[in-house]
Amino acid sequence: MKLEYLQKMDRIIRTVGSRDPDEILACMGFIYIDPGENLSGFITKRKNTVYYGVNKKFSPQQYAFGSFHEAFHGICGHLNTPDFLQNGAHADTFRIIHAVARTEREANIGAADTVIDTESFLEMVGYDSADVQAYTQSTESFERAVEDYRRHYVIAVANGSPETRIRRMEAYQSELSRMCAELQEQAQDILNSGTCLSVPEIAREYGVPEHVVHLKYEAVAIRKYKVPSLELPTFDKVFGGW
């Protein structure tokens, strides 16, 4: 996903003056066609005109996400991708949490970015908070330490494990364990203070599934905001096989 695609949607929203999906796609020149009861959504192109449909039985949040998903198929240039419009049209489900295809991931990230306003999202995650900024720095230090450990681990496995190397790797693990515990304490302190909302809380605020919030985190990263999630991996997932 390119930043320019998200910025293009920003300009469209400013032009329209709202985040109403019907108004935004109409502004883009897309024409709505009812997909019927059995189809979640689709998009197609005929003689330079784009037609799309999203099931009207969806909740307002689902309908908006599906509409913006189709909008980003257009913004990202997917309609010109070979084999995208199979049999003349592209059918969508909007239910794939971990979409593999690049076109679907880009459309999902763009839809999540549009459904969840960036300014309010940054407020919810405490982006300007000194505590969150300190946590961000701690997270970056921890990630660098984990990568350093993994490099040494690969060397240890490749070259054998004399006693001195084993003690060194144990020291790495002890230090990472300490750093991880501190991060977890920082994260809990931030959540307890109310400075930053958790993923489930943000999801409830917007009435969307949690995976849409995770997609929003990806979008703000593309926008060059350093916003770490307060949901840390369990410590045993940091290490492997030692």
Residues 79-84, mean pLDDT to the nearest whole number: 87
Pick from 101-115, 206-220, 228-242: least confident: 228-242
Q: Which helix (H) or strand (E) holds 156?
A: helix 130-159
- Report d(CA 180, CA 138) in Å as an integer: 10
Q: Hey, what are 45's tokens? A: 């192109």
Residue 242, pLDDT above cutoff 50? no
pLDDT band at 165 (very low <50, low <70, confident <90, very high): confident
Rg of the chain taking only CA atoms, in angstroms: 22
Pick from 12-26, 53-67, 91-105, 212-226: least confident: 91-105
Residue 32, pLDDT above cutoff 90? yes
Burial of 44 (0-12, 13-18, 19+ CB in 10 A): middle
Residue 239, pLDDT above cutoff 70? no
In degrees and rounded to multiples of 5, residue 89 shows phi and psi of -150, 160
In degrees and rounded to multiples of 5, residue 36 shows phi and psi of 90, 175
If you average pLDDT over each of 85-94, 125-134, 217-226, which comes out highest?
217-226
pLDDT for 76: 96
Residues 183-191, mean pLDDT to the nearest whole number: 80
Residues 94-114, mean pLDDT to the nearest whole number: 83
pLDDT tens across 121-163, in order?
Answer: 998 888 877 877 788 788 888 888 888 888 877 776 666 667 7
- Report d(CA 52, CA 238) in Å as an integer: 44
- Percent pLDDT > 70 in the chain is 88
In the predicted model, what is the mean pLDDT of the chain? 85
pLDDT for 98: 61
